[in-house]
């Protein structure tokens, strides 16, 4: 089997989980000479980053791998790393490699007639509990509590509250509001569902505010606090970790193994976000996950884009003994529910990786065309 061509698509859509703001991504179809195609994604998100990712694929990775056997995923990954040595080790090159690597894994699994996770060895989880990964963008605390209560009633086992997001909410802009939100939610859903808080890029706490706010939230038994500080602030994260009791989550903005190893060695992080559409694909993800598993920390796949990324993240999660849950965007949107025939969802709070060959996300050509931008 030989790689015959690569076709990237830049898609733009209104995301209901992001208050209907426009989001963008790059999907990639890799074609072979035997008629099998695989799909990958690079979560480039910004127009210029999407175009640059396509330029690296079209100008570099596609000609590099033309005629190669796509089932030799490891060798192809090494060749892409070697090719991008000067401008790689993160950034656009990592995004481009992610899309190609994900598509090659899809092809390899389809050719083997197996679900992707079967190529990663023994499955660690038959199912994972579903976490509603939401952006808090509702006008009032009551609105957020009512939405999340609905998700829990629908079966979701936990909820992750993304603060500082676009939309009508004060969340992430006023620590008193954030604490009141968590308190009201805990009262509404009871003791059982886990509540995670994701401060993230839009919330700008200094170290004192981060610690004080988290300690107040701990009285409502939060499961973890994610990205309380700027992700480059290792000293801050160490001080934060020493001052709180809850688990500390971070990592989703790293690009590869070296960055994650620094965080593992820092001892400041318990839950590592990893995005296979960013960290040089499933191959990169597995190297990182192995290091996290060895350190007895938690792997948490980041998958907040299309069903292609969700598929890859899900197979990688069920294959990792260090995964404890799987995040889904709770509001059905076009990139999860229209793009593919068999959307990824939970069954009474359990998420299972599909057993059809490949990663199981097969974008529909007409939907790709509908959302594609030139």
Q: Which of residues 25-84 bind Mg ion (CB under 5 A)?
A: none
Kindly state the smallest distance separating residue 182's Cβ from Mg ion, in Å.
Answer: 16
The counts of H helices and E strands in the chain are 13, 12
Of 251 and 358, nearer to Mg ion (C-beta) is 251
The residue sitting closest to Mg ion, measured at its beta carbon, is 198
Kindly state the smallest distance separating residue 249's Cβ from Mg ion, in Å.
Answer: 7
Q: E-assigned strands of 112-257?
A: 128-135, 158-162, 194-198, 224-226, 247-250
Kindly state the smallest distance separating residue 11's Cβ from Mg ion, in Å.
Answer: 22
Q: Which of residues 273-312 bind Mg ion (CB under 5 A)?
A: none
Q: CA 68, CA 46: separation in Å to the nearest integer?
A: 31
R_g of the chain computed on alpha carbons: 20
Kindly state the smallest distance separating residue 30's Cβ from Mg ion, in Å.
Answer: 29
Which H or E element spans position 65? Answer: helix 62-65
Q: Which of residues 110-169 bind Mg ion (CB under 5 A)?
A: none
Nearest residue to 4 (alpha-carbon basis) of 55, 56, 58, 70: 70
Kindly state the smallest distance separating residue 202's Cβ from Mg ion, in Å.
Answer: 10
Of 17 and 37, nearer to Mg ion (C-beta) is 17
Q: Which of residues 226-245 bind Mg ion (CB under 5 A)?
A: 226
Q: Which of residues 301-360 bind Mg ion (CB under 5 A)?
A: none
Phi, psi torsion values for 183, nearest 5 degrees: -65, -45
Kindly state the smallest distance separating residue 252's Cβ from Mg ion, in Å.
Answer: 5
Of 65 and 249, nearer to Mg ion (C-beta) is 249
Of 41 and 226, nearer to Mg ion (C-beta) is 226
Q: Which of residues 184-223 bind Mg ion (CB under 5 A)?
A: 198, 200
Of 70 and 200, nearer to Mg ion (C-beta) is 200
Q: CA 76, CA 62: separation in Å to the nearest integer?
A: 11
Of 212 and 253, nearer to Mg ion (C-beta) is 253
Q: CA 231, CA 44: separation in Å to the nearest integer?
A: 18
Which H or E element spans position 351? Answer: strand 350-351
Number of shown-chain residues binding Mg ion (CB under 5 A): 3
By CB under 5 A, tell whether 18 contacts Mg ion: no
**Residue entry with tokens 């209560």:** 149
Q: Write the burial class of residue 128 (CB in 10 Å: 0-12 exposed, 13-18 middle, 19+ buried).
A: buried
Site residues for Mg ion per CB under 5 A: 198, 200, 226
């Amino acid at each position: 089997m030989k790689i015959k061509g690569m076709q990237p698509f830049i898609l733009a859509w209104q995301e209901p989980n992001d208050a209907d703001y426009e989001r963008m991504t790059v999907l990639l179809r890799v074609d072979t000479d035997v008629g099998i195609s695989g799909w990958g994604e690079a979560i480039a998100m910004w127009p210029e980053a999407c175009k640059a990712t396509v330029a690296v694929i079209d100008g570099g990775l596609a000609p590099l791998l033309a005629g190669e056997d796509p089932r030799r995923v490891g060798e192809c990954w090494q060749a892409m790393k070697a090719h991008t040595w000067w401008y790689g080790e993160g950034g656009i090159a990592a995004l481009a490699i992610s899309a190609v690597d994900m598509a090659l894994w899809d092809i390899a699994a389809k050719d083997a007639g197996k679900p992707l996770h079967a190529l990663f060895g023994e499955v660690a989880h038959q199912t994972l509990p579903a976490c509603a990964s939401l952006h808090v963008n509702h006008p009032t605390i009551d609105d957020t509590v009512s939405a999340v209560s609905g998700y829990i009633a629908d079966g979701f086992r936990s909820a992750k509250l993304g603060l500082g997001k676009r939309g009508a909410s004060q969340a992430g802009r006023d620590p008193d509001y954030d604490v009141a939100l968590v308190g009201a939610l805990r009262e509404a859903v009871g003791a059982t569902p886990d509540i995670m808080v994701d401060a993230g890029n839009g919330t700008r706490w200094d170290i004192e505010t981060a610690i004080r706010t988290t300690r107040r939230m701990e009285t409502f038994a939060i499961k973890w606090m994610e990205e309380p500080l700027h992700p480059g602030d290792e000293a801050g994260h160490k001080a934060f970790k020493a001052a709180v009791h809850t688990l500390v989550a971070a990592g989703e903005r790293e690009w590869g193994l070296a960055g994650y190893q620094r965080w593992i060695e820092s001892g400041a992080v318990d839950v590592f976000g990893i995005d296979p559409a960013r960290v040089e694909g499933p191959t990169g993800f597995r190297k990182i996950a192995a290091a996290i598993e060895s350190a007895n920390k938690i792997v948490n796949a980041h998958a907040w884009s299309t069903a292609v990324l969700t598929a890859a993240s899900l197979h990688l999660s069920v294959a990792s003994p260090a995964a404890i849950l799987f995040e889904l965007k709770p509001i059905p949107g076009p990139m999860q529910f229209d793009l593919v025939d068999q959307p990824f969802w939970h069954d009474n709070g359990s998420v299972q990786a599909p057993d059809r060959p490949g990663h199981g996300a097969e974008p529909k050509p007409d939907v790709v065309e509908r959302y594609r931008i030139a």
